[in-house]
Amino acid sequence: MGHKRAIALQEAAKDSIGITAGLVGAKVKLLVVLDEIEFLNKQLQRIEAALAEALEATGIASYLLSIPGIGVITAAGFLAEVGDLSHYEHWRQL
């Protein structure tokens, strides 16, 4: 949507009747949802930190993370799927 269209919509909204009932409840709900997002983001950060720590403990984190496009979550997921890499004779088995 272009800038002119956004301005036109904003101007039209100023003159529209709109719904005024329930605005307080909607604002409260918005604040609750924003609090939930903040909480979930903190939880995600904790989980990612734990994943990074567990990945580092494998001793091969630096190798996996040196692959372009591979991050902590992908590397940890990969190891969760394939298990201990020492059980494979050749990398091609993976």
Tens digit of each residue's pLDDT (9 = 90 or more) over 44-58: 999 999 999 999 998
| C-beta separation of 60 from 85 below 8 A | yes
* Rounded percentage of the chain residues whose pLDDT exceeds 90: 44
Distance (Å, whole) CA 76 – CA 58: 10
Average pLDDT over residues 65-76: 93
Angstrom distance (rounded) from CA 75 to CA 83: 11
pLDDT score recorded for residue 94: 55
The beta-strand segments (E) located in 1-94 are none
Residue 75, exposed/middle/buried by CB under 10 A (0-12, 13-18, 19+)?
Answer: buried
